């Protein structure tokens, strides 16, 4: 088998058919290609829609830990292609991408994986268009990158050596994987070839910030603990947690100084500190050209900090081998 396409999804009836049609067209010229759809216990018509197409379907059980990583993990272990193309169920694939990705990986022995240009369409909770971000990762030339999003093509041999996605990780699983791949001596590349169009909720909203927090997408403490088991914790902190560490220290400083100034009745210090804080807020708002965006940024960082600390102290690290593999086979 030359290429395995692993499509993951949960309740994707709005997008899954368009995704499948784009994938089928994109791989039509590739010999020895398999496509598997890994469904995370959907309660809508996703599976019924996929059944109409020449695609294998497996389904995770509702009482299992359901993460995007779990779908990719089980898709990986249930396929055998030399190259593995991970696709999200709300994605459209450009028709030339798979061939060009395979060609790139075959010509670059040091490459562990490759991705291309991604355009992002934002939609609201009703599926209505809300905006678009062309070239999400601002790719202007082909080169090495530190991490991919969820959509990318990997060499199976590299994932077998470094380990594939950890099914228990919810926060930044792509970075955790990339650290292991790079530790093994391989590089990740992003090219200027158009790869995908994705549909995504508007991230900069109070509703979406708290949804992502409750879903575990901000629980970076558990990811940090996992990285500690394979020697990549410091690298993870440098690449992903710098902003949250600095924000945590700043917030702690604000709380301590406010407390001390009130306890010792140094109201002049409190007023001065409040003035400086207000000035900083005003300057940031001017830079962002929006008071609302500044407030959202503060809320987002506070939520990330809370869930990071919570997961650091209360989440347990589990080995991927502990994840159940007795999936429901819906269609061979």
Where do the domains of the chain lie?
A: 3-204+318-331, 239-314
In the chain, count H helices and then E strands.
12, 11
Could you tell me if 61 and 41 are in contact, meaning their C-beta atoms sit under 8 angstroms apart?
yes
3.90.1150.10, 3.90.550.10, 3.40.47.10, 3.20.20.10: CATH of 3-204+318-331: 3.90.550.10
pLDDT at res. 24:
97
Question: Distance between CA atoms of 61 and 285, rounded to whole angstroms?
Answer: 46
pLDDT at res. 210:
93
What DSSP state is assigned to residue 45? S
Q: Which two tokens stand for residue 150?
A: 């969820």
Partners of residue 121 on adjacent β-strands: 132, 199
Question: Distance between CA atoms of 128 and 146, rounded to whole angstroms?
Answer: 33
Q: By three-state DSSP, how is residue 255 classified?
A: helix
- Report, in this order, helix, strand and coil percent for the chain, each rounded to 5: 45, 20, 35
Q: Which two tokens stand for residue 248?
A: 């945590």
pLDDT at res. 269:
65
pLDDT tens by residue, the chain, 332 residues: 799 999 999 999 999 999 999 999 999 989 899 999 999 999 999 999 999 999 999 999 999 999 999 999 999 999 999 999 999 999 999 999 999 999 999 999 999 999 999 999 998 877 888 889 999 999 999 999 999 999 999 999 999 999 999 999 999 999 999 999 999 999 999 999 999 999 988 777 888 899 999 999 999 999 999 999 999 999 999 999 998 888 888 778 777 777 777 777 776 766 766 677 777 767 777 776 777 788 888 889 899 999 999 999 999 989 999 999 999 999 98
**Beta-strand relationship, 3-9 and 33-39:** parallel
pLDDT at res. 298:
86
Indicate yes or no: pTM above 0.85. yes
pLDDT at res. 177:
98
**Beta-strand relationship, 143-145 and 129-133:** unpaired
CA distances from 115 to 100, 126, 144, 295, 309 (A): 10, 30, 10, 33, 32
Question: Distance between CA atoms of 168 and 69, rounded to whole angstroms?
Answer: 7
pLDDT at res. 181:
98
């Amino acid at each position: 088998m030359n290429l395995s396409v692993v499509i993951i999804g949960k309740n994707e009836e709005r997008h899954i058919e368009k995704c499948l049609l784009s994938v089928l067209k994109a791989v039509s010229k590739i010999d020895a290609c398999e496509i598997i759809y890994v469904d995370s216990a959907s309660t809508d018509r996703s599976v019924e829609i996929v059944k109409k197409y020449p695609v294998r379907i497996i389904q995770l059980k509702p009482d299992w830990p359901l993460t995007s990583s779990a779908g990719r993990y089980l898709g990986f272990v249930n396929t055998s292609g030399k190259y593995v193309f991970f696709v999200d169920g709300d994605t459209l694939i450009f028709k030339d991408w798979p061939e060009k990705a395979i060609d790139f990986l075959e010509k670059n022995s040091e490459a562990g994986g490759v991705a291309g240009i991604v355009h992002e369409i934002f939609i609201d909770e009703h599926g209505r268009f809300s905006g678009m971000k062309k070239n999400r990762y601002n790719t202007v030339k082909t080169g090495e990158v530190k991490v991919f999003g969820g959509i990318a093509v990997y060499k199976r041999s590299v994932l077998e050596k470094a380990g594939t996605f950890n099914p228990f990780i919810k926060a930044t699983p792509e970075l955790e994987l990339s650290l292991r791949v790079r530790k093994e001596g391989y590089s990740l590349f992003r090219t200027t070839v158009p790869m995908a169009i994705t549909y995504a909720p508007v991230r900069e909203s109070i509703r979406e910030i708290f949804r992502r927090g409750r879903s575990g997408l901000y629980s970076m403490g558990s990811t940090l603990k996992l990285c500690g088991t394979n020697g990549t914790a410091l690298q993870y902190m440098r690449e992903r947690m710098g902003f949250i560490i600095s924000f945590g220290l700043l917030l702690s400083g604000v709380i301590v100084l406010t407390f001390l100034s009130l306890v010792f009745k140094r109201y002049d210090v409190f007023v001065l500190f409040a003035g400086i804080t207000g000035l900083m807020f005003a300057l940031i708002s001017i830079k962002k050209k929006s008071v609302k965006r500044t407030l959202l940024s503060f809320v987002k960082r506070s939520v990330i900090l809370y869930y990071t600390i919570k997961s650091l102290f209360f989440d347990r690290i589990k080995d991927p081998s502990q994840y159940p593999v007795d999936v429901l086979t819906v269609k061979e």
